[in-house]
């Protein structure tokens, strides 16, 4: 039989690299397959690869560029013997052990290859949902964001008007959080009432720094290369009239999509596609020997530091499970 890996880690964000560090230090000789085939722009490294300033991850006094941070974590994992394939997982078979994982390198044009594993840690993350505007993509990380907690305290946003798009709990939370820093927060929603829970909606609407723009949608993000976002053009969905709202940033708060499409039919997912964890505070899933960490299994926090913590737990759980199976 072909060589069977002790543990394969799918995904290379904070959860994946932390899992690799712990697994490597436990002499599990982990293999990281960096991409899952679902990340935005098909780039391994998770959402932090699209973040220019990370200021809320412990240990970096002056903040750090997201790509640089992922590089540092990878180097730390490799220092302890982690092996890395810069490939994308295309499909898996978790119906029997050893588990089968197929992967491909899109750039090289090589044929699809297969890896066998005793245990698997899935850390493929989740992708923020955006409006799909060309102008939105142009100013991503230059005034356009999908995470107020991650970016709201950045200097460019302080004491300036900001726009939040959405009407659910996430949008209300983002808008409320941003009032700590912004001079005014415009909450753009396609309906005339919020979809958020009643108590959260009431709290937001009573906040003097939050101004709702009902029955409205962002038509275009305006700005320039030097200043980034300077305004957004809003369309009234009832009258079709347009107006320009001056602002220094726009936050999309219309949900996330977990990068788990390749897992359908292989394990239990919740209705939104997040991996269903079998036990509270653990990383175990519906398939014995498969563990999950990070945003692909976390619809609530979605922070780099919580993902890293989950990666730690997944590696420890995998190590203990392998020992119980007599696999060393």
Ranges of each domain in the chain: 4-127+256-324, 130-252
pLDDT of residue 249: 97
Q: Provide φ and ψ at 100, rounded to 5°.
A: -110, 135
* Strand-pair partners of 89: 103
pLDDT of residue 231: 98
Task: Decide if 4-127+256-324 and 130-252 have a common fold.
Answer: yes
Count other C-beta atoms under 10 Å from residue 158's C-beta.
14
Mean pLDDT value across the chain:
92
The Cα 213–Cα 35 span in angstroms is 39
The Cα 83–Cα 61 span in angstroms is 30
Q: Is 80 exceeded by the pLDDT of residue 199?
A: yes
Task: Provide the CATH number for the domain formed by 130-252 in this structure.
Answer: 3.50.50.60
pLDDT of residue 324: 97
Per-residue tokens: 5: 């890996």
% of the chain exceeding 70 in pLDDT = 94
The Cα 109–Cα 316 span in angstroms is 36
The Cα 150–Cα 65 span in angstroms is 12
Residue 35: band (very low, low, confident or very high) from pLDDT cuts 50, 70, 90 = confident
Residue 33: band (very low, low, confident or very high) from pLDDT cuts 50, 70, 90 = very high
Residue 36: band (very low, low, confident or very high) from pLDDT cuts 50, 70, 90 = low
Prediction pTM value: 0.82
Stretch 56-74: mean pLDDT: 91
Question: With the C-alpha atoms ordered 101, 282, 296, 293, is the resulting torsion angle positive or negative?
Answer: negative
Q: Is 80 exceeded by the pLDDT of residue 2?
A: no
| Dihedral angle, C-alpha 300, 127, 47, 277, nearest 10 ° | 40
pLDDT of residue 105: 79
| Catalytic position from the list 36, 93, 147, 298 | 147
4-127+256-324, what's its fold?
Answer: FAD/NAD(P)-binding domain (3.50.50)
Catalytic residue at 247? Answer: no
| Catalytic position from the list 65, 106, 150, 312 | 150
Contact 126, 215 (CB under 8 A): no
Q: What is the pLDDT of residues 128-148, one digit of tens each?
A: 899 999 999 999 989 999 989
Q: From start to end of 94-160, where are the E strands?
A: 99-104, 113-122, 126-128, 144-145
Q: What angle do CA 85, 86, 88 make, to 5 degrees?
A: 100
Catalytic residue at 150? Answer: yes
Q: Is 90 exceeded by the pLDDT of residue 280?
A: no
Residue 41: band (very low, low, confident or very high) from pLDDT cuts 50, 70, 90 = very low
Catalytic residue at 312? Answer: no
The Cα 297–Cα 304 span in angstroms is 13
In the sheet that holds 242-246, the strands lie side by side as 216-224, 228-236, 242-246
| Catalytic position from the list 151, 295, 298, 317 | 151
């Amino acid at each position: 039989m072909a060589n069977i890996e002790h543990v394969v880690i799918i995904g290379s964000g904070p959860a994946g690299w932390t899992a690799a560090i712990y697994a490597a230090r436990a002499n599990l000789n982990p293999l990281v397959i960096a991409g899952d085939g679902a990340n935005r722009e098909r780039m391994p490294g998770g959402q932090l690869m699209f973040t220019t300033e990370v200021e809320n991850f412990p240990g970096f006094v002056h903040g750090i560029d997201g790509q640089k941070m992922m590089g540092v974590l990878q180097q730390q994992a490799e220092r302890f013997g982690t092996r890395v394939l810069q490939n994308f997982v295309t499909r898996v078979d978790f119906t029997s052990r050893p588990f089968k994982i197929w992967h491909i390198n899109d750039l090289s044009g090589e044929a699809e290859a297969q890896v066998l594993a005793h245990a698997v840690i899935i850390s493929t993350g989740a992708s923020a949902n955006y409006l799909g505007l060309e102008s939105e993509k142009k100013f991503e990380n230059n005034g356009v964001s999908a995470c107020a907690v991650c970016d709201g305290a950045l200097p460019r946003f302080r004491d300036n008007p900001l726009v939040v798009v959405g009407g659910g709990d996430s949008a209300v939370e983002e808008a409320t959080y941003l009032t700590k820093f912004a001079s005014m927060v415009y909450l753009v929603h396609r309906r005339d009432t919020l979809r958020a829970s009643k108590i959260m909606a009431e709290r937001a609407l009573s906040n003097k720094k939050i101004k709702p723009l009902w029955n409205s949608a962002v038509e275009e993000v305006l700005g320039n290369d030097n200043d980034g976002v300077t305004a957004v053009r809003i369309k009234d969905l009832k009258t079709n009239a347009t107006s320009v709202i001056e602002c220094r940033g726009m936050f999309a708060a219309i949900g996330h999509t977990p990068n788990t499409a390749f897992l359908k039919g292989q394990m239990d997912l919740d209705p939104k596609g997040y991996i269903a964890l079998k036990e509270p505070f653990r990383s175990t899933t519906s398939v014995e020997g498969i563990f999950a960490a990070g945003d692909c299994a976390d619809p609530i926090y979605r922070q780099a530091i919580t993902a890293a913590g989950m990666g730690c737990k997944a590696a420890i759980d995998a190590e203990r499970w392998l020992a119980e199976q007599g696999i060393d």
